[in-house]
Structure 1
Amino acid sequence: MNLVNLESVSHAYGPKPLLSDVSLGVEAGERIGVVGRNGGGKTTLLSVIAGALRPDSGRVTHNRGLRVGFLSQRDDLDPGVPVREIVLGDLAEHEWAGDQRVREILANLIGDLDLDARAADLSGGERRRTALARLLIDDHDLIMLDEPTNHLDIEAIAWLAGHLAGRKSALVVVTHDRWFLDAVSMRTWEVVDGRVERYEGGYAAYVLAKAERARIAQAAEERRQNLMRKEIAWLRRGPPARTSKPKFRIDAAQALIANEPPARETVELMRFAAARLGKTVYDLEDVTLHAGGPGTGPLVLDHLTWQFGPGDRIGLIGVNGSGKSSLLRLLADTIKPDSGRVTRGKTVRLAHLSQELAEVDPTRRVLESVEEVRKYLQLGKREWTASQLLERLGFKGEAQWKVVGDLSGGERRRLQLLRLLMDDPNVLLLDEPTNDLDIETLNELEDLLDGWPGTLILVSHDRYFLERVTDRSVALLGDGKLSLLPGGVDEYLERRAAGTAVTARLGAAATTGAAPSGRIGAITEAATAPAGPPASAAGQAGGLSAKEERELRKELNRLERQLDKLGDQESRLHAAMADAASDYAKLGSLDAQLREIKAQKDTVEAEWLEVADRLGD
């Protein structure tokens, strides 16, 4: 059953058509991710579907009684109203405190935020979380979200994805977070040149299907260009040849990527980085650091000794407020440690992209502001001009001659990043570089960083980007240490869930009595306090007998064999999806099987980690 129908809808801002004769529908229970370039019409499409914007032409039909929840990019909160009233309305305390679903939403989005705080006193991130919590607490037939992951950390994004996937509501979401798209979407819509192209599956399936469409289009263009030569050749071969035409089969996914080189030539980049940087980049010796200055604010580092070497590509993970930006500022020498020593290599040429936009002369042209830094840049084995790099990051044609003062926030972000790269640094500190960047620009940025030789330290809540451009991850877990994460973001989430870091989460203890006023996190400390050491830790403390160790080794081997089998099944399903790229019904069935396999794989991996932990491996 369709909840919303669009028939021949068109809409334009000024001379630019954003939607041209678009006809589509949203079905009950359908989850759709919307992608496209900034300014391409994604938000306009959402507003039209939600009924918040009347199109220039065409018709939008809603089911009778349709309940629509719409989160726009701008959070419209009454500045004088407290958080409690915004989120919970007139719900009595015992009503929401006794509702497990409401408690879960509050715990993961509101956390320790004071319920009596007025909207006017909230930060941008707190306002965003408040607006999102208000929407999710209500029941809707259709939820529409415009950039819901803004201001959320990795843990909150993972929770939100699971929450949305578990709801029965239909969902239409605009986001540049590709991991989130994969986690929640059943279908993907791409808004491009006024059209809405539709694809089955999440972001990964969309990329594969789009590549296949491009391959077919290229083959069609080659056929058109050679048509006369082929027709003449066929005519010479006699009548049988005239009745047959070549058919292009869809290659399996493994065949498509068989000759694709690795994203980065790691060994060569490391060699270049070592030649440019020498042996020392950053050495931290017995460093203690507080976020608010010596002895004030949260503890970030506690007598830490650590080395960042030439060619390291490190992703820095942690909840908001854990001190990630403070650590980057320490390395950039804009703040000093409470104690200890930070040694910086003599050959380090640093570029630090902070979350604040650096000032650029607003009267200059975009191209001029880049060329004043440098006109050419060597990336990998190729030399790029300033104009070519601007084009790769979305400044095409006349956009390179725009006045800097007229740029949007996203355009300023891209310009700031390119100016840093043009200065030819050998150490990059990037703090949330993906803010305000669309997916196409993110792809180009990833390609540029793949060919860049140097040390990279990245802070980002964009999980896809983080895993794509870095080689290893470390986390600030609130214990004053940098914890290495061999398992990446998945391991970080598991360790957080296991209680190895401070969490703000409600538990069953909240139902034992009425919640006190004030902060959500104050409902009960027992809900967040660990009941005792994990079973694995207790087992290690008591030691394992030879028999127990043999049994655990056998179990570990069994789980590894099971993981291998699941990995083979996953590869076969990916290949089958590539073959079925044009068969939407079959692709949907295969996607469901793939999700089931991934869920089994996650379960087995969790069991493997638990057994390995007990063995001390």
Structure 2
Amino acid sequence: MAHLLGAENLSVTFGTRTVLDSVSLGLNEGDRIGVVGRNGDGKSTLMRMLAQRSTPDAGRVTRRGDVNVGYLDQQDVLDGDLPVGVAIVGEAADHEWASNPRIREIMAGLVEDVDWHAKVSSLSGGQRRRVALAKLLIEPHDVIMLDEPTNHLDVEGVAWLAEHLKQRWRPSDGAFLVVTHDRWFLDEVCTRTWEVHDGMVEPFDGGYAAYVLARAERDRMAAVVEGKRQQLVKKELAWLRRGAPARTSKPKFRIEAANDLIADVPAPRDTLALAKMATARLGKDVIDLEHVSYTPPGRAEPLFENITLRLAPGERLGVVGVNGAGKTTLLQLLNGEIRPTAGKIKRGKTVKTAMLTQEVRELDEVMDLRVVEVIQRERQVFNVGGRELSAGQLVEQLGFTNQKQWTPVRDLSGGERRRLQLLRLLVGEPNVLMLDEPTNDLDTDTLAAVEDVLDGWPGTLVVVSHDRYLLERVTDHQTALLGDCKLRGLPGGVDQYLQLRQAALAAGAGTAAPTSGGQGPQAGASGSAAAAGASEADKRQARKDLNRIERQLGKLGQQKEKLQEQMHEAGSAAQVDFELLAELNRKLQELAAEEEELEMEWLEASDVLD
């Protein structure tokens, strides 16, 4: 495979800390590489150096003369005063780029719902991210470098980007390098992994799952070597402790060898080890939303309409949905921050909620405090696993070293703030924990440790996330907000959600290219070919089918509601019948599957009439 670019003895130092130490590596045609490592270990720094956006302290980056490199920074680098269309394609006329099917596919996948004439500064964070991606991907780069490309992307956006990168080049052509905490994305698109740690870059074959297995084997082998070395350390220390009179006769080289062994004992690694906190005991009733509707202030259309959701003790629910469908608002309703427009919310008497927001704004009031002081404000001593720990010992388990414990909160990185706030929530002993996009700013090691603690957390958990790996790892079932004011279960998980969204999009607008008067890259034609060619007899049959399906859906809705009430009653009984609950849940899943089939029939019939 032809060499594209590489690094020779690359070194970078920030202050007294060496981030990259004489790193040499190369990128060849056909490489699909994911970059992982702890926050602050130099992943983004390495990528900036390879993209020649920064200059190393020592060493150099080499590049084949004709190689075209595209680079997506974590930061928003678009000109906010430009219209979206100009930001993506420049001053090129519509016909100059719309005739290219690859560019049309990128536009449809990323910016279909974005106003083509809106200023970039008026867009949401997710929309700006998609515009920046579209601008990068329409260009014919030989190498693409993406720094956290999935930030602000929803599940659909992440799935589209993964598919695009897999299909962009032939297997032996092009190359990309991606830094991301999204482990599903790494597994889906990468064939090699670079781990950045301790100033070095260590390569592994395969995506994230293969990397985890290979690293586990490496750590196991290292543990064997370390065990042998520790035994030797003990022998040498015992030999040295045999008294001063005897020590004077010991050969000098033996004393030096022992000192070298002692000096070589590594410092404890900053591994996140969250304690499993004691939680207040939940009663049989948690939180029920019953026929709830909600219209945000200043908005004419409702965000939710007649939704019902019952949370059970110990339930683990994942929430996915399109941007703007109300995922965060749903958490705020459950948390009691806002009141519904209609319907009622029932909360158990012993319920104590805690919510991790996307912005971690809860830390604003303690920005001037140090890390350990934030936890000391909650309590001085904590009982964890039958042992009493001080606040300092507890935050050390969270990965804050002795030095880091005395860092002001305002000086922490985004990932460190999220870790601190999660610990702060857990020491408050809630029994209902709600996490709004908890993976933002966390590296893969931290995510794995957070998942480990959530595995053993005994309370009720509600997670809003676009991270498929996290949802499948820590939640037992998922529900979706599809932008139609409804809440629907997903027996098939995230894959079912993506199928529903594809079906909905296929039944919606057409795929005409944008014109100067369009609202977005897909503005123009609407309707479907099915409607255009349908006879009057077909349309009459379609109307009959719609009426029949709607009646069946209404009956199914009543049956589901009855089953949910039976499950609620069974779970609230003095003696819980788990076999009955399992049978009721099985019937509920069957109804959900039948409902999904009917909805697909409804969409097909609707296409005929559009």
Do the structures match in fold with TM over 0.5? yes
Does the aligned pair in 2 maintain the 1:107–1:506 contact within 8 Å? no
Return the TM-score normalized by structure 2.
0.76
Given residue 56 of structure 1, which amino acid in structure 2 is its aligned partner?
A: D
Matches within 5 A, 1:461-610: 461-499=466-504, 507=510, 509-510=511-512, 516-526=517-527
Relative distance call for 1:184 and 1:379 in structure 2 (3 A) is: farther
1:225: how far off?
Answer: 5.2
Indicate the residue corresponding to 1:285 in structure 2. Answer: 290
Does the aligned pair in 1 maintain the 2:21–2:200 contact within 8 Å? yes
Distance 1:482 1:120 in 2: 32
Does the aligned pair in 1 maintain the 2:507–2:528 contact within 8 Å? no
Indicate the residue corresponding to 1:77 in structure 2. Answer: 78
Counterpart check, 1:210 vs 2:215: yes
Does the aligned pair in 1 maintain the 2:508–2:527 contact within 8 Å? no
Does the aligned pair in 2 maintain the 1:37–1:438 contact within 8 Å? yes
Indicate the residue corresponding to 1:311 in structure 2. Answer: 314
1:457: how far off?
Answer: 0.7
Aligned to 2:218, what secondary structure does the other structure show?
helix
1:529: how far off?
Answer: 10
Indicate the residue corresponding to 2:196 in structure 1. Answer: 191
Relative distance call for 1:83 and 1:515 in structure 2 (3 A) is: closer
Relative distance call for 1:389 and 1:155 in structure 2 (3 A) is: farther
Distance 1:33 1:486 in 2: 31
Given residue 473 of structure 1, which amino acid in structure 2 is its aligned partner?
A: Q
Does the aligned pair in 1 maintain the 2:370–2:405 contact within 8 Å? yes
Q: Larger Cα Rg: Structure 1 or Structure 2?
A: 2
Indicate the residue corresponding to 1:232 in structure 2. Answer: none
Distance 1:383 1:189 in 2: 40
1:41: how far off?
Answer: 0.6
Distance 1:435 1:276 in 2: 30
Distance 2:13 2:528 in 1: 52
Relative distance call for 1:378 and 1:429 in structure 2 (3 A) is: farther
Relative distance call for 1:108 and 1:387 in structure 2 (3 A) is: farther
Given residue 526 of structure 2, which amino acid in structure 1 is its aligned partner?
A: E
Does the aligned pair in 2 maintain the 1:94–1:515 contact within 8 Å? no
Indicate the residue corresponding to 1:404 in structure 2. Answer: 409
Given residue 32 of structure 2, which amino acid in structure 1 is its aligned partner?
A: R
Distance 1:409 1:228 in 2: 40
Matches within 5 A, 1:352-501: 352-356=355-359, 357-358=361-362, 359-377=364-382, 385-499=390-504
Distance 2:83 2:485 in 1: 34
Given residue 404 of structure 2, which amino acid in structure 1 is its aligned partner?
A: A
1:383: how far off?
Answer: 6.6
Indicate the residue corresponding to 2:350 in structure 1. Answer: 347
Distance 1:530 1:72 in 2: 44
What are the superposed Cα offsets for residues 89-147 of structure 1, whole Å, 9 maximum, x if unpaired? 23321233333322222222212221112223233222221111100111100000000
Distance 1:119 1:174 in 2: 25
1:503: how far off?
Answer: 7.7
Distance 1:150 1:437 in 2: 11
Counterpart check, 1:34 vs 2:32: no
1:176: how far off?
Answer: 0.7
1:201: how far off?
Answer: 0.4
Relative distance call for 1:214 and 1:188 in structure 2 (3 A) is: same
Relative distance call for 1:13 and 1:523 in structure 2 (3 A) is: farther
What are the superposed Cα offsets for residues 343-384 of structure 1, whole Å, 9 maximum, x if unpaired? 111111111112232223222211111121134556677776
What are the superposed Cα offsets for residues 257-290 of structure 1, whole Å, 9 maximum, x if unpaired? xxxxxxxxxxxx9xx98x8121111112211123
Relative distance call for 1:381 and 1:530 in structure 2 (3 A) is: farther
Distance 1:60 1:74 in 2: 23
Given residue 409 of structure 1, which amino acid in structure 2 is its aligned partner?
A: G
Aligned to 1:277, what secondary structure does the other structure show?
coil
Aligned to 1:111, what secondary structure does the other structure show?
coil
Distance 2:48 2:31 in 1: 18
1:297: how far off?
Answer: 5.5
Distance 1:123 1:529 in 2: 35
Counterpart check, 1:158 vs 2:159: yes
Distance 1:75 1:527 in 2: 37
Matches within 5 A, 1:157-176: 157-168=158-169, 169-176=174-181
Aligned to 1:34, what secondary structure does the other structure show?
strand
Relative distance call for 1:386 and 1:526 in structure 2 (3 A) is: farther
Distance 2:288 2:530 in 1: 35
Given residue 92 of structure 1, which amino acid in structure 2 is its aligned partner?
A: A
Between the two proteins, the alignment pairs up a number of residues equal to 502
Distance 2:315 2:91 in 1: 53
RMSD: 3.4
Given residue 441 of structure 2, which amino acid in structure 1 is its aligned partner?
A: D
Does the aligned pair in 2 maintain the 1:83–1:117 contact within 8 Å? yes
Relative distance call for 1:389 and 1:91 in structure 2 (3 A) is: farther
Distance 2:346 2:531 in 1: 38
Indicate the residue corresponding to 2:46 in structure 1. Answer: 45
Q: Which moved more, 1:369-378 or 1:150-159?
A: 369-378
What are the superposed Cα offsets for residues 39-76 of structure 1, whole Å, 9 maximum, x if unpaired? 11111100111111121111211001110000011121
Distance 1:9 1:86 in 2: 34
Does the aligned pair in 2 maintain the 1:7–1:24 contact within 8 Å? yes
Unaligned 5+ segments in structure 1 are 230-268, 543-608
Given residue 510 of structure 1, which amino acid in structure 2 is its aligned partner?
A: A
Does the aligned pair in 1 maintain the 2:325–2:485 contact within 8 Å? no
Indicate the residue corresponding to 1:580 in structure 2. Answer: none
Matches within 5 A, 1:123-134: 123-134=124-135
Relative distance call for 1:473 and 1:195 in structure 2 (3 A) is: same
Distance 1:418 1:127 in 2: 32
Distance 2:54 2:88 in 1: 25
Relative distance call for 1:467 and 1:369 in structure 2 (3 A) is: same
Distance 1:155 1:360 in 2: 35
Distance 2:77 2:531 in 1: 38
Distance 1:297 1:185 in 2: 45
Q: Which moved more, 1:360-369 or 1:419-428?
A: 360-369
Counterpart check, 1:222 vs 2:227: yes
Distance 1:529 1:368 in 2: 65
Matches within 5 A, 1:239-278: 276-278=281-283
Distance 1:308 1:482 in 2: 14
Q: Which moved more, 1:180-189 or 1:409-418?
A: 409-418
Counterpart check, 1:299 vs 2:270: no
What are the superposed Cα offsets for residues 553-594 of structure 1, whole Å, 9 maximum, x if unpaired? xxxxxxxxxxxxxxxxxxxxxxxxxxxxxxxxxxxxxxxxxx
Relative distance call for 1:540 and 1:29 in structure 2 (3 A) is: farther
Return the TM-score normalized by structure 1.
0.75
Distance 1:205 1:530 in 2: 48
1:481: how far off?
Answer: 2.5
Relative distance call for 1:369 and 1:181 in structure 2 (3 A) is: same
Given residue 289 of structure 1, which amino acid in structure 2 is its aligned partner?
A: Y
Distance 1:395 1:53 in 2: 29
Relative distance call for 1:217 and 1:333 in structure 2 (3 A) is: same
Relative distance call for 1:350 and 1:377 in structure 2 (3 A) is: farther
Distance 1:386 1:441 in 2: 20
Indicate the residue corresponding to 2:243 in structure 1. Answer: none
